[in-house]
Amino acid sequence: MSAVGAEAGEHAHAGVLRIFPPADDASRIVLVRHGEAECNINRVVGGLKGCTGLTDLGRRQVAALADRLYESGELREATALYSSVLPRATETAERLRPVVGQGPKALGPVVQRCDLCELHPGQCDGMPWEEVVEAYGVPDWDRDPGIPIAPGGESWSEFVVRASDAVREVVGRHPGELVVAAVHAGVIEACMIRFLGVPPEIYRRGWVRIVHASMTEWEWVPAEDRWVLLRFNDSCGVPTV
């Protein structure tokens, strides 16, 4: 560090500094987006009916992430591994389980939670997206985010609250610990919206893309109810083709 930088570090207001140790009661969660899924490629709505797991590329993506985690040991301190109940997420979690925490025996089984799922699609589950548009139209969530995607399905606003609250609840179960969850792009987006106040339009209009098998890490300080984004969309070493 230069003399100027050292002086700035010594005298800068504490609120300006961004390099600081974690609080004593801080907890962390790493959200891993699942690998590429069959429903992504086939362009069908991937709820419980429409999701059939990962593609071959998706499995290679998760394998590449597993290799990285084995070499780096960066998630070796994790005490629990969660996933949504959708096959693309559960398959991702099971393939990462050997390299998360101190091994499968110490870690225990993957904990599956429906509230970590992508937006619940209701009656359009399993339908091609083209047919969904023909049958139900495209909800204008900029005008009214409370419109459900289809009969029996969630609205955008309902999903954002449900998914981010699920992440908060999971972290609250593990005070002072590191946990990992295999989830979906929408869940990661919901956390960015609720925890950082990122405008929802950023995601709805496709200006940010959450990469398959990427990691987004949060730190939560319960005494202040403060969320710190430690990394976002970390896909180093993950193949795209």
Q: Give the count of beta carbons closer than 10 Å to the beta carbon of residue 117.
A: 27
Q: Please indicate, yes or no, if residue 2 is contained in any of the structural domains.
A: no
Contact 214, 21 (CB under 8 A): no
Phi, psi of 22 (to 5 degrees): -65, 150
Q: What is the pLDDT of residue 206?
A: 82
Q: Please indicate, yes or no, if residue 141 is contained in any of the structural domains.
A: yes
Its pTM stands at 0.90
Amino acid at 57: L
Q: Please indicate, yes or no, if residue 3 is contained in any of the structural domains.
A: no
Q: Please indicate, yes or no, if residue 5 is contained in any of the structural domains.
A: no
For the stretch 183-218, pLDDT in tens is: 999 999 999 999 999 998 888 888 889 999 999 999
Q: What is the pLDDT of residue 195?
A: 97
Helices (H), the chain: 3-11, 38-42, 56-72, 87-96, 104-107, 129-136, 156-172, 185-196, 201-204
Q: Please indicate, yes or no, if residue 146 is contained in any of the structural domains.
A: yes
Q: Which of 130, 134, 127 is nearest to 153 (CA)?
A: 127
Phi, psi of 168 (to 5 degrees): -60, -45
Q: What is the pLDDT of residue 171?
A: 98
Q: What domain range is 180 assigned to? A: 23-234
Q: Which of 187, 185, 214 is nearest to 39 (CA)?
A: 185
Q: Please indicate, yes or no, if residue 11 is contained in any of the structural domains.
A: no
Q: What is the pLDDT of residue 21?
A: 66
Q: Give the count of beta carbons closer than 10 Å to the beta carbon of residue 185.
A: 21
For the domain that residue 99 is a member of, what is the CATH number?
Answer: 3.40.50.1240
Q: What is the pLDDT of residue 19?
A: 53
Residues of the chain with pLDDT under 50: 1-13, 15, 18
Q: What is the pLDDT of residue 8?
A: 43
> How many domains does the chain fold into?
1
Q: Please indicate, yes or no, if residue 226 is contained in any of the structural domains.
A: yes
Q: Please indicate, yes or no, if residue 14 is contained in any of the structural domains.
A: no
